[in-house]
Chains A and B, each alone.
Chain A
């Protein structure tokens, strides 16, 4: 992705501030005495919200025409091994940073943990700092450190504030993810060591420096890729290493589930794009059929299992397996549409599934059960609640006009161009999603309301306030995704070009359709603004490549 240029600048080191604000916040929460209940929440939301505001500011100031990394910050860390603090955002990570920045304060406002407020908010802030660190890291060591550290706060959040068999779920979550990343550490070290030997340079953990001059052999790269891929596959989670997810999701406290689904799972899919595709283009291409298959299996499996669930929260958890399958499908289509769709879907899934978990959590607070059979007819007593659930659910299903559609459409478009039959099977998953969610909705909200169901509390103003920005984003990104897609596009184009050049002609980006191959953003631009931007027009293949190689 070329030499990183400081394109956008806020006048101060934005990224270190972004990571440090929540970390300092965690310390601040710890130091606040146990005087009054609300204080910890206030301090926590304040710090978390500041980081969120900063992330939005970065998005606004982001130079949308530039493909490289922006806001880059660099600082020696462990000089002996060439380890540095190297961070920056590009179009691929930008929206995940914003999602992380905003979802945390919202989920901290949304639900009260019930007990032990101080450690709860401290862990939430540590978790936010860790997630932000993963998304901005451009140094392999730094990435690994943040990737691994998020386990600790999540472990405590699930274990201490979770329900039911929380300790089991927390331990399972910790060990599963740690097992994945254990081999990634070996892969990282082997990559750095072999790269330094084969290219005759000093040890460096700089992602860009390694990826742009990858010197290691093809077979070695494939093995190393598998080391990385296992870590990401567990985190995503891909079938068949997904088994920790339903337990962790179901037993986690509401905010824990929101963050787990909204942000933590994205660490895996983001890892596939940033460290799989970018570092190992050849291996990614080589193993693409495997991951496409696992993605499609995940889509169908997640959907079928979700249909059978009796527990509403578990149902949403399994729907995550299906949605993440789509993201993997898009990623390994290895074309602009698929990748853009994948990244967009990461954000969309964060919003819609995050909101679903919030609603299910609130429902649990009201009814103290998540058993679908015990619920029914809730919309009579709580019509607003039902309405909110409907919007969010439709977004999750992928109804046109809401954000979920944009992502799924792009993914299927990309996947269809690249691997037709996988896309066809995946489309069945879209239908199944409608089946399990609508069926669940029907059982929970329709029908006669009996007993407690008839007196369920309506959505409170406070809850509405939390939900409003999420629903607004769901609608906005569904109707007008251009601001998001156009910021992603240069980075995604460049990544695809990187894969193409690395494979030296063995791979040509599969582009949907024959002649007319505009990107979705352009299509929208044409429809909305009624004009075409000549510079952005990708016309045919050759022109497109020329465009990208000439990049920054």
Chain B
């Protein structure tokens, strides 16, 4: 800068905003780790052991969590005037508050788990290489940006970084046509939804004169629009964009096909991290920014939630493919999360965060089991292939049962408490009808989990198949994932206080500078 200032001619220098590097650190660690991995592997691939990428990525995830901890501490501090010490950087376009740090940690944890899970899978499918890990880390970085975005353009950048990586991940299995199909389908529909989302941003910008969420919020609070059609149209298009990413009905149609075709560890990542990032963005935009317009968007989310719950749970029970079943189950879980969003209250937000955390661990665990069971080529995904798992691998069957019961919302699992908090938030917001629909949908969805459990525990392996009980090895990576996820589901099912407190303290805030 000094050199420029001394220059002879006056430069038209663009003022660059202040950067609070500490706030960006988790993002930088993760994105940096991805690039470093790419470099290392292109230089010294043969010199490194095969498990290197997996362990490296897991450690990168852990490192991201570690650097996020001081941030978490900082944003929990109270300033002298009683506000939380949340801050934003990059000209108020990247916010660091309890909410974004919470989601950052969650996404990083998912990255670590998926990396451990993927190691064996990639070798089994002969897809060895750093690409998977690099893409997962980049995609997760996009998710972190979404959770922290204080500006619609930044949010869109995050969304695209996240999505583009996942499109490729979905199509990663080169030798499976289903995987290719899933990638294309996800890409085409995803690109369309991104376009709609971008158009929503444009309309919102047109109505409010800014893409910055802080400015938009101030504008909405201070200006009474005579004609708010443009703004409402913007809301609608943004909601469609989010609806696609979270797989809310009626924007869910891609989900079953993509879940069925994509490599199973990728599905685990999609169902947990992508969902978490999309819900974080949704809350940031609608709950935090558009809160003064909640009477306009709450009914829409109410309707989406009901449609999502009903369709998700009803369609799930008629499926015969486990991955499709879980796809519909993930749709109905999105419905629950929408119930929490609809409450538009601090309780609702923390219930969504708790739900996301609980669900992320359960769903990664579930897909870890599916990864083991489906065998070479991801071929054995039909419900009948689950037969007799309890005989072949009792411990894996126990783990799967914990996840299924957790997703069904049986007490003493984190899944029960997740549902409990969401329903509590809905009841507190006096949405009794929605709460009742949600609970009835839970019963319908329970049938789906029971169907899988029946196959696992109560039916003998099919003897007519050439290889009835294929020896299912449990590699160390998947084993570690199962231990961690079962532990999380059970421990926080009985003693949820730590996570509850974190979710309660992780409130989103829009602050300038």
Contact B432 A179 (CB under 8 A): no
Contact B432 A145 (CB under 8 A): no
Closest B residue by C-beta to A197: B428
Contact B454 A80 (CB under 8 A): no
Contact B443 A159 (CB under 8 A): no
Per the bound structure, the CA–CA distance linking A160 and B459 in Å amounts to 9
Query: Is the C-beta of A144 less than 8 angstroms from some C-beta in chain B?
Result: yes
Query: Is the C-beta of A174 less than 8 angstroms from some C-beta in chain B?
Result: yes
Q: Closest CB-CB distance, B277 to chain A, in whole Å? A: 26
Query: Is the C-beta of B27 less than 8 angstroms from some C-beta in chain A?
Result: no
Within 8 A of A (CB), among B472-513: 496-497, 500-501, 504
- Which of B15-23, B211-219, B363-371, B434-442 makes up part of the contact surface? B434-442
Query: Is the C-beta of B411 less than 8 angstroms from some C-beta in chain A?
Result: yes
Q: Closest CB-CB distance, B43 to chain A, in whole Å? A: 49
Query: Is the C-beta of B458 less than 8 angstroms from some C-beta in chain A?
Result: yes
A152-B410, A171-B454 given as contacts; is B427 within 8 A of A186 (CB)? yes
Q: Closest CB-CB distance, B184 to chain A, in whole Å? A: 38
Contact of A160 among B435, B457, B500 (CB under 8 A): B457
Contact B439 A182 (CB under 8 A): yes
Contact A185 B457 (CB under 8 A): no
**Interface size for chain B: under 10, 10 to 19, 20 to 34, or 35 or more residues?**
20 to 34
Within 8 A of A (CB), among B407-449: 410-412, 416, 420, 423-424, 427-428, 432, 435-436, 439-440, 442-443, 446-447
Per the bound structure, the CA–CA distance linking A81 and B501 in Å amounts to 11
Contacting residues, chain B, for A182 (C-beta < 8 A):
439-440, 442-443
Per the bound structure, the CA–CA distance linking A160 and B450 in Å amounts to 13
Contact A178 B446 (CB under 8 A): yes
Query: Is the C-beta of A175 less than 8 angstroms from some C-beta in chain B?
Result: yes
Closest B residue by C-beta to A142: B411
Per the bound structure, the CA–CA distance linking A321 and B405 in Å amounts to 30
- For the A-B complex, the count of residue pairs with Cβ-Cβ distances under 8 Å equals 74
Closest A residue by C-beta to B503: A80
Contacting residues, chain B, for A160 (C-beta < 8 A):
457-458
Contact of B454 among A79, A146, A159, A189 (CB under 8 A): A159
Q: Closest CB-CB distance, A5 to chain B, in whole Å? A: 29
Within 8 A of A (CB), among B367-418: 405, 410-412, 416
Per the bound structure, the CA–CA distance linking A167 and B423 in Å amounts to 30
Q: Closest CB-CB distance, A152 to chain B, in whole Å? A: 6
**Max chain B CB contacts within 10 Å: which of A148, A149, A175, A182?**
A182
Contact A174 B450 (CB under 8 A): yes
Q: Mark A189-200, 1 if CB is under 8 A from B, else 0.
A: 110010000000
A183-B436, A190-B432 given as contacts; is B442 within 8 A of A148 (CB)? no
Q: Closest CB-CB distance, A291 to chain B, in whole Å? A: 22
A80-B500, A186-B439 given as contacts; is B405 within 8 A of A152 (CB)? yes
Closest A residue by C-beta to B394: A119
Contacting residues, chain A, for B446 (C-beta < 8 A):
174-175, 178
Query: Is the C-beta of A156 less than 8 angstroms from some C-beta in chain B?
Result: yes
Contact A167 B427 (CB under 8 A): no
Contacting residues, chain A, for B500 (C-beta < 8 A):
78, 80
Per the bound structure, the CA–CA distance linking A171 and B501 in Å amounts to 36
Per the bound structure, the CA–CA distance linking A183 and B423 in Å amounts to 11
Q: Closest CB-CB distance, A476 to chain B, in whole Å? A: 37
Per the bound structure, the CA–CA distance linking A78 and B410 in Å amounts to 17
Number of interface residues of A (CB under 8 A): 29
Per the bound structure, the CA–CA distance linking A193 and B443 in Å amounts to 23
Contact B410 A151 (CB under 8 A): yes
Q: Closest CB-CB distance, B498 to chain A, in whole Å? A: 11
Contact A185 B439 (CB under 8 A): yes
Contacting residues, chain B, for A183 (C-beta < 8 A):
436, 439-440
Per the bound structure, the CA–CA distance linking A186 and B405 in Å amounts to 20
Contacting residues, chain A, for B454 (C-beta < 8 A):
159, 167, 171
Contact A171 B497 (CB under 8 A): no
Contact B427 A179 (CB under 8 A): no
Contact B411 A144 (CB under 8 A): yes
Per the bound structure, the CA–CA distance linking A81 and B503 in Å amounts to 13
Contacting residues, chain B, for A81 (C-beta < 8 A):
424
Contact A193 B447 (CB under 8 A): no
Contact of A171 among B411, B435, B436, B447 (CB under 8 A): B447
Closest A residue by C-beta to B434: A186
Contact of B435 among A80, A152, A174, A186 (CB under 8 A): A186
Closest A residue by C-beta to B454: A167
Contact B432 A185 (CB under 8 A): no
Within 8 A of B (CB), among A42-85: 78-81
Q: Mark A126-170, 1 if CB is under 8 A from B, else 0.
A: 000000000000000000111011011001100110000011000
Q: Closest CB-CB distance, B19 to chain A, in whole Å? A: 36
Q: Closest CB-CB distance, A447 to chain B, in whole Å? A: 39
A167-B458, A175-B443 given as contacts; is B410 within 8 A of A186 (CB)? no
**Max chain B CB contacts within 10 Å: which of A78, A156, A185?**
A185
A148-B410, A175-B443 given as contacts; is B435 within 8 A of A189 (CB)? yes
Closest A residue by C-beta to B446: A178
Per the bound structure, the CA–CA distance linking A168 and B26 in Å amounts to 51
Contacting residues, chain A, for B450 (C-beta < 8 A):
155, 171, 174-175
Contacting residues, chain A, for B497 (C-beta < 8 A):
78-80
Per the bound structure, the CA–CA distance linking A29 and B435 in Å amounts to 39
Closest B residue by C-beta to A179: B443
A185-B420, A193-B428 given as contacts; is B458 within 8 A of A80 (CB)? no
Per the bound structure, the CA–CA distance linking A159 and B451 in Å amounts to 12
Contact B504 A80 (CB under 8 A): yes
Contact A175 B410 (CB under 8 A): no
Contact A189 B440 (CB under 8 A): no
Per the bound structure, the CA–CA distance linking A146 and B497 in Å amounts to 19
Contact B496 A78 (CB under 8 A): yes
Contacting residues, chain A, for B501 (C-beta < 8 A):
80
Per the bound structure, the CA–CA distance linking A146 and B427 in Å amounts to 22
Per the bound structure, the CA–CA distance linking A347 and B388 in Å amounts to 40
Per the bound structure, the CA–CA distance linking A230 and B84 in Å amounts to 45
Q: Closest CB-CB distance, A186 to chain B, in whole Å? A: 5
Per the bound structure, the CA–CA distance linking A155 and B408 in Å amounts to 14
Per the bound structure, the CA–CA distance linking A325 and B412 in Å amounts to 32
Q: Closest CB-CB distance, A460 to chain B, in whole Å? A: 31
Contact B504 A186 (CB under 8 A): no
> What are the 7 tightest A-B residue pairs by CB atom distance, in nearest-first order?
A182-B439, A145-B411, A189-B427, A179-B443, A186-B435, A149-B411, A178-B443
A-B contact pairs, 30 of them (CB 8 A): A79-B497, A80-B497, A80-B500, A80-B504, A81-B424, A145-B411, A145-B412, A145-B416, A146-B411, A148-B416, A149-B410, A152-B410, A156-B457, A159-B457, A160-B458, A167-B454, A171-B447, A171-B450, A174-B450, A175-B446, A175-B447, A175-B450, A178-B446, A185-B420, A185-B423, A186-B423, A186-B436, A189-B420, A189-B435, A190-B435
Given contacts A146-B411, A193-B427, 15 further A-B contacts (CB under 8 A): A79-B497, A80-B501, A145-B411, A145-B412, A149-B411, A152-B410, A155-B450, A159-B457, A159-B458, A175-B447, A186-B439, A189-B420, A189-B435, A190-B427, A190-B432
